[in-house]
């Protein structure tokens, strides 16, 4: 096995649990395309309708000298160039959707209707069609027409307000989590709708609001306010009242330790050579440690500063204390666990050469997902092949 992951070859590309499913993706940027990526990773044939010319802006997005984001979000997809502003393009889209099991889109509400692609009409022609619609505020409600990128949904859904230090402006978590959450809920909705269709033969429309996808993972944020008036705020790196559970400084970096449960805390104290802390009334129970969180973090930090990351890791593993390094991409591609589970794979891209990227998840025992096709290099490069295969039209 090559260092950093498996190289995908034809012999290592199984069909996946969604093999045979036909998906038309009409989204752009992140939410719609990531939903399409998830479905494609699980075996669906994903036809991406792009506007002629530059296509999806994701083709140019990313960081570094050679942005590679498109290689990830565009994998397992076929590019068909269609101008939805024309009657001919709209009819071609209807023809393709008529052969599809699923339509994924993340335009502002009303865009499909403007292009004569109303989901109700599409489902009249194709009753089994499942339409996953992703937007900032959903298809209904007084804010439905507002534009809504990921950061807006993260703010409206509550996430941005609790990320960062309390004395500073709210922070971004570092990835487009609002968009990818919406895409994941969109994918989940498609899978549930497929189960319903298997029983009834009927498709349906799935309305995914970006802010609601964020809200769904906000734990007891609203319930705490509802029952006691408690309002979560930004708390920085700590989980309030849960201690010790933080990133701690070492001689050569930082290290994560989660030692808050009573048995684990006793093992941590043993590793520290501080059995006295277990008997200290300030730290003897979970509730007491939460009340004296800052004091305990300072004690643990004073200890971790005397060790390197490697020394601390070995010591805490020996004492079965949940802990770990804060990984970078370089760490991931070199780690044997990533390699053993094929968490990172290498895809041979015609233009960029070998590209390492995340594999397909979750893992299925009988029908594993795979990367069967690299991202389309050119807008519309698969148009002729798809029209012939799906619609029987000669190239």
Segments of the chain scoring below 50 in pLDDT: 1-4, 9-11
Beta sheet of 6-7, edge-to-edge order = 6-7, 344-349, 353-358
Whole-model pTM?
A: 0.93
Q: Could you tell me which residues come within 8 angstroms of residue 151 by beta carbon, excluding any fewer than 6 positions away? A: 160, 172, 178
Are the C-beta atoms of residues 377 and 371 closer than 8 Å to each other?
A: no
Q: What is the per-residue pLDDT for 10?
A: 42
Where do the domains of the chain lie, and which CATH numbers do they carry? 6-219+332-391 (3.40.50.10540), 260-321 (3.30.1540.10)
Q: What is the per-residue pLDDT for 15?
A: 85
Q: What is the per-residue pLDDT for 199?
A: 98
pLDDT tens-digit map of 233-257: 999 999 999 999 999 999 999 999 9
Residue 23: name the closest of 84, 102, 140 by CA: 102
The per-type count for the chain, helices as H runs and strands as E runs, is 17, 12
Q: Is 353 exposed, middle or buried (0-12, 13-18, 19+ CB in 10 A)?
A: exposed
Strands (DSSP E) contained in 90-145 are 102-105, 130-135
Note every long-range contact of 57-62, with CB atoms under 8 Å and residues 24 or more positions apart, other chains counting: 57/28, 57/29, 58/28, 58/29, 58/30, 58/33, 59/379, 61/29
Note every long-range contact of 225-229, with CB atoms under 8 Å and residues 24 or more positions apart, other chains counting: none
| Active site positions, annotated | 179
Q: Is 94 exposed, middle or buried (0-12, 13-18, 19+ CB in 10 A)?
A: middle
Q: Which two tokens stand for residue 1?
A: 């096995």
Q: What is the per-residue pLDDT for 14?
A: 66
CA distance 395 to 379: 17
């Amino acid at each position: 096995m090559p260092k950093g992951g498996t190289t995908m070859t034809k012999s290592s590309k199984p069909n996946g649990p969604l093999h045979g499913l036909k998906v038309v993706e009409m989204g752009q940027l992140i939410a719609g395309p990531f939903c399409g990526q998830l479905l494609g990773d699980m075996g669906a044939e994903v036809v991406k309708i792009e506007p002629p010319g530059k296509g999806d802006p994701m083709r140019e997005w990313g960081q570094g000298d050679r942005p590679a984001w498109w290689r990830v979000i565009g994998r397992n997809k076929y590019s068909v160039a269609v101008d939805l502003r024309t009657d001919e393009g709209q009819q071609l889209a209807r023809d393709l959707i008529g052969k599809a099991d699923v339509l994924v889109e993340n335009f502002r509400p009303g865009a499909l209707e403007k292009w004569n692609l109303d989901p109700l009409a599409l489902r009249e022609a194709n009753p089994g069609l499942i339409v996953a619609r992703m937007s900032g505020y959903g298809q209904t409600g007084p804010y439905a027409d507002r534009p809504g990128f990921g950061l807006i949904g993260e703010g409206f859904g509550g996430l941005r307000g609790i990320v960062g230090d309390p004395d500073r402006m709210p922070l971004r978590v570092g990835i487009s989590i609002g968009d990818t959450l919406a895409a994941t809920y969109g994918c989940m909705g498609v899978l549930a709708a497929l189960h319903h269709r298997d029983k009834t033969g009927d498709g349906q429309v799935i309305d995914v609001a970006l802010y609601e996808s964020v809200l769904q993972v906000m734990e007891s944020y609203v319930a705490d306010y509802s029952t006691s008036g408690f309002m979560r705020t930004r708390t920085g790196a700590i989980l309030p009242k849960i201690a010790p559970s933080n990133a701690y400084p070492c001689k050569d970096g930082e290290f994560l330790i989660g030692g808050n449960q009573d048995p684990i805390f006793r093992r941590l104290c043993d590793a520290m050579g501080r059995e006295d802390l277990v008997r200290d009334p300030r730290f003897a129970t979970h509730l007491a440690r939460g009340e004296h969180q800052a004091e305990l973090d300072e004690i643990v930090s004073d200890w971790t500063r005397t060790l390197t990351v490697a020394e601390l890791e070995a010591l805490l593993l020996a004492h079965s204390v949940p802990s770990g390094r804060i990984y970078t991409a370089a760490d991931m591609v070199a780690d044997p666990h990533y390699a053993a589970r094929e968490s990172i794979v290498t895809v041979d891209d015609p233009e960029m050469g070998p590209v390492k990227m995340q594999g397909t998840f979750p893992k299925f025992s009988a029908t594993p997902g795979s990367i069967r096709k690299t991202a389309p290099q050119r807008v519309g490069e698969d148009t002729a092949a798809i029209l012939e295969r799906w619609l029987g039209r000669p190239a």
